[in-house]
Chains A and B, each alone.
Chain A
Amino acid sequence: MKKNIRNAIRAIPFWLSSKTFLIMRNVLVIILISAFQLYASESLSQGNKVTLNMEQEALKNVLRAIEEATDYTFLYNSKLVDDTRKVDAVFTTSEIEKVLPALFSGTDVIYQVIDRQIILTSREALSDMQPGQITGTVLDEFGNPLPGVTIHFKGTSAGTVTDVNGLYTIDRPEEARFIVFSSVGYGTQEIEIGDRTVINVQMNEDIHGLEEVVVIGYGSQVKKNLSSSVSSVDPEMIASSPVSSFEGGLQGRAAGVQVTTSSALGGSAVRIRVRGTSSASANSEPLYVIDGVPMESGEISTSQPGASIREWNLQTAANTNVLASLNPSDIESIEILKDASAAAIYGSRGANGVVLITTKKGTKGKTKVNVTTTFGVSEPTRRIPLLNSTQYIGLAQEAWTNMYKQGEQLVDEGEEFLGNWFMDRYDTINNFSKWWSESGVLVDGLTKEKALETDTDWIDAVLRTGTLQEYNVSANGGSEKTSFYISANMKDESTILKGNDYQRFGARINLEHQVTKRIKAGTKMSLTHVNDHQVPTSWAGGIGSVNRMLPIWPLYHEDGSYFNLSDQHPVAGVELRTMHLSSNQILGNWFASLNILEGLTFRTEFGTSMIFMDDFHFRDGRITSHGRSVSSTVLGNRASYNWKNILNYKKNIRQHSFDLLAASDIQSFRNRINTVFGDTYFNSALRKPTDAAVVNAAYFETGYAFASYIGRLNYNYGGKYLLSASIRADGSSRFAPINRWGYFPAISVGYILSEESFFASNNNAINFLKLRASYGIVGNAEIGDYAYVSNYSTLSYGSNTGITLSNLGDDQLSWESTSQLDIGVNWENLDGRISGEFDYYYKLTTDLLLPYPVSGMTGVSTVTRNIGEISNRGVELMLNSINIQTRDFSWESNFTIAHNENRVESLAEDVGEGFSQSQGLGGFALYLGKPVGVIEAVEWGGVDPATGQDTYIDTDGNVLLYSEILEQYGSIDSFRDEHKKPMGNPWPKFSGGLDNRFSWKNWYGNIMLTYATGMTFFLGEQKNMLAAFGNTKTNPTEFLFDRWQEPGDQATVSKLTVDNISWVTTSEHLHRTDYVRIKDITIGRRISFPGTDKIAGMNVYLKATNVFTWTMAPDFFWDPEYTNVVQRREANNLNAGESYKAAPQARFLMAGLSFDF
């Protein structure tokens, strides 16, 4: 436990400790002053006391004076209320309830006070109403008229919508007792009518109402009537977060959706797993569908220009995430289809869940303009505590001394040759003079004297205080026939990594037009330009190399040149490289719908997603292995189009409600990449590949097509019994013709007990209760485009073309199929004060697509095969409670927790209990009964207190000293070969979040925690640090303080030596990375401006993210959250639990200001 506490991130937020404090303090002060000034002025006019001295003044002037003196706003139609009438208004600290009768006594004006709004109308207008009519005004949360609100009487089909002024009039059926107001984005209000003829309503934002309409793929459905598992996430919470991409904001907000961000790099990738990982080798990211267009998620630039042409690590830093191009502020709704019943509508692409994103559309009525600006600063969530100069010298010399002592011991044992050799080499008697002269720490002309006066903080050299600014302007509105939403946005981020600057410019236009009474057409289009200056991380250098430079080494020579210059020099690695990606993206969807008959509609949609990217890399010859400058350009375009035709029929027959859907969907995708690589420049001004002495060009092209037919029935009886059945037939070019088509059926049923009459007696305790069950089959075709074809790729040999086998195809290759059972319950207690959702699921993926190892003598090391089964089983709980709700104060909590167990259920018979395979520099292992992503490793037995040696445990449970292993097996490698076993689990056992939202009058706040427990990670960097003083020089972190020093020591690190790095992975390198993180703290205030129609409202907030983290991860982890998805997305399940290097994450402090006009 002590270790855990020690490992907790105790960093004081940088804005309290660094010079950034000055910047942030000023920002904070300005915002608070402005907020409190407003608050102060409000406070002076708080309450409903009115003091006026106006005689024979026009009523409108009096009303304006009251608005100016108080918070009240008057809403009326001047055609109905004569505001030119002269009145006497002489009041002294009078209650508003006394002022209003005085102003309107003797007139036919009647009034109603709703919160701070006072609605005026006339008896004459009411008298004009037909008998049985009800009228009124609907306002939004700012008190502005809300057009387009649907109004109907409960239990009848009569309904209407509010006009542009928020006004409505509706005939009341005789039997109607309740009137219902509903609008997208607002909570539904059900009001008992009584004998009222005027009913005015103020709508409040709501995201989890049962009447909320949720998008379910190829249509939408009222949430209450869903019989499948769909999570909705409030996009507003994501829009204001400094996430690199919107999907990063899903963390902790939806049960069963596990989110891992990769690093602080601008636009970096995010790994998402919905209900565990269903595959081993196929891509397991959910399918993202933006406005109906299936997206190619992943990196914009998938090329590795340096991979085949010498400088292989030209580009192993972040590849900019495609989804980061979507402006979070444009998102109207996010739905995650989790169970098979929901996801089966996407058939072969639904096995990993589906994330549906719908962007905003216009609403009829007055044009609303929103301007939002955000400014933030950032720092790393954690700094690995590398040793300072004194600490390093101390430990390095201790290692040297230990070797000398070993020599003494050998001599004592009679091994004089070796003992004397040790004693001679590691002589420590004369002030470590041999350490200084022979250990290799004095390089590049460094003297002992200079080294002793040097103490370089290499982390400081490559990190900085990051800044972030975002600007967003949007306008939406519309007439009776046409509505629009347009927006423009700009994001400019200089991340905590020096040199890493990410800019995004975007524009969007969403239009809908009612062409005729039956035909509607529209479009949603966005253009995005991304400008991303990347920096190397991980293997490639930069921050990844900070521990390859010693604290006794200076950054620069006295003449300003880099000290000990190589690609491992963190600063030179950044400064002498250019990694610039620019991309232009077009995302568009065009639709036309035809209302053929009542209830019968036909909709056709054409969507396209295009990415044009230009990736330029330059690496100065001073940091290349051959000493020449190299560069590359990668020009690519990815174009996808899809065309959907949907026939939908909705019919209510008495208590039976039918929603039938038949659809077809085709998609075609093509990716083309041109790469030019240049090597050797005779002039430093030349940097482009074509100016190089050696120019290589390459071309890459791939593509796929999907064709699908879809059928679905949603049925409910009496709003109580729910049924949904769907089937999708998918054809994919990724499989051989004989296995090209797959069929994916699903069914779900629901039972809303609370609608039963017998439930009424319990109505006070539980006012809504729904039981659900679903079963379905979904697929995964994410295996690359041509795995079924044997193919030869070309190479050049001299001036000749050669061919070599690149893929051994298998025409029997078919889909991975995932069947999923889901049993769930939704409920609401105490009139919605507490609501929840609980699901149990069991997923079984069969015909697992695996890189099955074959004999390397075939010419390939693996082939893709349908082998094995993986299961995921788990439970999810989401609880929402409105803890306090008074007139002025509310506190709402949202808690999610998910438990998932991933397990390999079966493998091919000939691989026994499991198998492993080397892949490039890494490898993977799959074992029966173990989760995907285990690593084969040797079990470490800790440090022997007597000798300080590492001990290891063989598969029979025997504990052996390292020296005994050398004696018996020759090397630790040989021991490993015989005694390795699968270890680790990269997937959290429990994960989720706790979100608390507060509001007090116009103030609001938010505190969100996220957590994940039970997962492990192998960090290869520890191997370097454990052998810091051998040939390869490394600066370790403070975890080495806990090393063995003398017999009897109970230590976690063995005796320091000058041994070289052992690359054998053992459980010593395996660590729990559980964490609890304060993900988000927000405080803000919404401010209204009564008395002016120039501005509708203002929102000002302060937000801090990744504020504080408690973790079990050791100090050499930059952050407990890490995924190597950036580098090996295609294999990120099999390698999910290990990485050689990691990268820091960022903590943000932000201020935002938003205006509504």
Chain B
Amino acid sequence: MKKYILAIITLAVLTSCSEDFLNKPPTTGLSTDKLTDLPAMEALIYGGYGQLRSFVHQPVLYGTAMARDILIRDRPEYDQFFDHMVTTGMTSWMFGQGYSSLGTLNTVAVSDLESMDGSAEEKNAILGDMHFLRAYIYFNLNNYFALPSTGYSVPLLLEPLGVNDVVECARTADVIARIEEDIELARTYFTDISGESDYYAATALAARIYFFHKKYDLAWERANEVIESGKFELETDPADAFTPGGSSKEVLFTFRYDATDGSGTSPSSRMFEAYRPDQSQGFYSLNPDGEIAALWEADTADVRYKAFFTETTELTYIDGKYTTDQMDFIMIRLAELYLTRAEAAIMNNNNVSQADVDDMNAIIGRGNPDNVLEVIPTVQDALELLYEERLKELSYETDDHYLNLHRLEKPIIGSPTEGGELKPYSDYSDLLVFPFPETEIEFHNLDRNP
């Protein structure tokens, strides 16, 4: 009997559950308490870049639709942008992706980098990227979520948000100040060291930021600094800037996409799919239309039309900028800076100089030598020409046209249901502001009209 009891006790002991048996933490991934060194901070930076892959193409596609520069073939959800009846369904994605990346970056922002092992250069590279990306994200969010009539914009978060934290909308002016401070800090941190981004990419982005913030003097300075640095060159053939896998000297910064890294949807794939000729393929199925189509029809000899557009009996589609879904997404290139420098100078001086004409001709003449300016135009003509040239040069690549419409407060062509006539800026400026996601409104009681 004793031996039976002993056997039972032995088994009972064996099956006694220690906490060790129940201690099964995740075997993959990294828990929060491990974020204590520079490699972790660097990984957060790359995480922030990676998260932006599903963010950066959205302003391009939405902006193009809102500017009515597309024909929507097979994706009725784009009708809401085209018809200026934007709902939360599509835009929530953009808002969420932006703040997800901001959360990752802000984790770096509040971390104690000082106490971490590593050189000052390594830390500056991390901080440079953090401020660069934060400026870029807030710039985009502010462009689409700021309500012009009240002067309020998105919440301004500079540290990770806890699940119970409640925030409120920031004043647009404060957001703008933060964007500009961040991009200048990025430039400062990048003075002697590069991260994923670098000094000139930050300076080029600063030029774009100031340009659309209508601070033309700073825009001119930043654009001028990049151009005059001599580190970048315009391609003779504009198509060369879009060579997959290429390293064009015209390109200042790209969001990277490497098909072999398994990183999921790439922004370039969205651009590729959006403009495929086959209606049944691709996710977006959009075609050039509106102002841009009209411009091209008037100048089909332009090499950019030949390089980037294909015309069939049924449709014209743009297949030259993103020829594959596996290429980097170009954030900014030198051509934009030439046009920015020219226009910023004209706006500053209210005068057109030969230098401005030279900047314009650098882009216009590359497209079609027959169109180069032989004489200095009037300010009004120069600005109109620049408006059209930005549209031709940067369309289906950035949301430049949409931002330009806002900046210049130009009218938009109305849809048939609106009567087909021009719709003045005053009628659409607040309409084109993206609504906040419902859940954010409910959670934070977000109100841009406090």
Contact = CB atoms under 8 A, between A and B. Distances in A.
Contacts of A1061: 76
Interface stretch (A186-194, A378-386, A824-832, A969-977): A969-977
A797 interface: yes
Given A855-B444, A918-B92, A1031 B74 contact: yes
B261 A863 contact: no
A1032 B77 CA distance: 11
Interface in B1-53: 1, 4, 7-8, 11-12, 15-17, 19, 21-32, 35, 40, 42-51
Identify the interface centre among B35, B45, B100: most chain A CB within 10 Å of its CB: B100
B108 to A, nearest CB: 11
A358 interface: no
Contacts of B40: 803
B295 interface: no
Given A566-B280, A626-B272, A973-B80, A804 B22 contact: no
Contact of B47 (A308, A415, A707, A795): A795
Given A627-B281, A859-B103, A796 B50 contact: yes
Contacts of A564: 280
A369 B162 CA distance: 66
A790 B31 contact: yes
B99 interface: yes
B261 A696 contact: yes
A188 B43 CA distance: 71
A645 interface: yes
- With most chain B CB atoms within 10 A of its CB, the pick from A602, A626, A1060 is A626
Interface stretch (B82-90, B332-340, B342-350, B399-407): B82-90
A802 B262 contact: no
A786 interface: yes
A26 interface: no
Interface in A737-790: 737, 740, 785-786, 789-790
Interface string A303-317: 000001110000000
Given A857-B102, A863-B163, A732 B22 contact: yes
A853 B439 contact: yes
B140 interface: no
B262 A803 contact: no
B221 interface: no
Contacts of A973: 80, 85, 87-89
A922 B163 CA distance: 23
Contact of B262 (A698, A809, A1031): A698
Nearest to B106: A859
B265 A310 contact: yes
Interface string A684-725: 000000000011111111111111100000000000000000
Interface stretch (B286-294, B360-368, B414-422): B414-422
B247 to A, nearest CB: 13
Contacts of A602: 4, 7-8
B259 A733 contact: no
Task: Point out which of B25, B42, B155 has the most chain A C-beta atoms below 10 A from its C-beta.
Answer: B25
A548 B80 CA distance: 23
A917 interface: yes
A918 B30 contact: no
A855 B419 CA distance: 40
A679 B17 CA distance: 47
Interface in A641-657: 643, 645, 647
Contacts of A808: 163
A698 B262 CA distance: 8
B30 A856 contact: no
A568 B162 CA distance: 43
A415 B420 CA distance: 11
B269 interface: yes
Contact of A625 (B103, B104, B281): B281
Contacts of A886: none
Contacts of A1063: 77, 89
A695 B47 contact: no
Contacts of A918: 89, 92, 439
B428 interface: no
Contact of A795 (B35, B263, B419): B263
A647 B28 CA distance: 39
B282 interface: yes
A804 B19 CA distance: 30
Contacts of A310: 264-265, 269, 325
Nearest to A859: B103
Given A625-B283, A792-B30, A1060 B79 contact: yes
Contact of B50 (A596, A706, A797, A1030): A797
B32 A790 contact: yes
B264 A309 contact: yes
Given A626-B272, A796-B263, A1060-B76, A856 B22 contact: no
B99 to A, nearest CB: 4
Given A626-B273, A740-B22, A1061-B76, A857 B264 contact: no
B260 A696 contact: yes
For chain B, the bracket of interface size reads 35 or more
B17 A707 contact: yes
Contact of B160 (A792, A856, A859): A859
B203 to A, nearest CB: 22
B349 to A, nearest CB: 42
A800 interface: yes
Nearest to B87: A973
A1031 B437 CA distance: 27
B43 A803 contact: yes
B258 A796 contact: yes
A949 to B, nearest CB: 16
B86 to A, nearest CB: 9
A890 B278 CA distance: 67
Contacts of A915: 442
Interface string B201-239: 000000000000000000000000000000000000000
Most buried by B among A785, A794, A804: A804
A195 B206 CA distance: 111
B167 interface: yes
Given A707-B17, A858-B103, A791 B30 contact: yes
A568 B30 CA distance: 40
Contacts of A737: 19, 23
Interface in A577-600: 594, 596-597
B189 interface: no
Residue with the greatest number of chain A CB neighbours at <10 A, chosen from B21, B155, B273:
B21
Contacts of A790: 31-32
B419 A418 contact: yes
Given A645-B11, A800-B46, A917 B439 contact: yes
B438 interface: yes
A805 interface: yes
A789 B439 contact: no
A645 B85 contact: no
A915 B439 CA distance: 9
B260 A804 contact: no
Interface in A980-1022: none
B161 interface: yes
A1032 B50 contact: no
A703 B27 contact: yes
Given A707-B17, A792-B31, A854 B163 contact: yes
B73 interface: yes
Contact of A861 (B73, B79, B96, B419): B96
Contacts of B26: 702, 785-786, 789, 791
Contact of B439 (A417, A705, A804, A856): A856
23 contacts: A421-B420, A594-B7, A645-B12, A695-B260, A737-B19, A789-B26, A794-B43, A795-B46, A795-B263, A795-B264, A799-B258, A803-B30, A804-B48, A854-B163, A856-B100, A859-B99, A859-B100, A861-B439, A917-B439, A973-B88, A974-B85, A1030-B76, A1032-B74
Given A792-B31, A796-B263, 8 more contacts: A625-B273, A626-B325, A645-B15, A732-B22, A789-B31, A797-B196, A797-B263, A804-B100
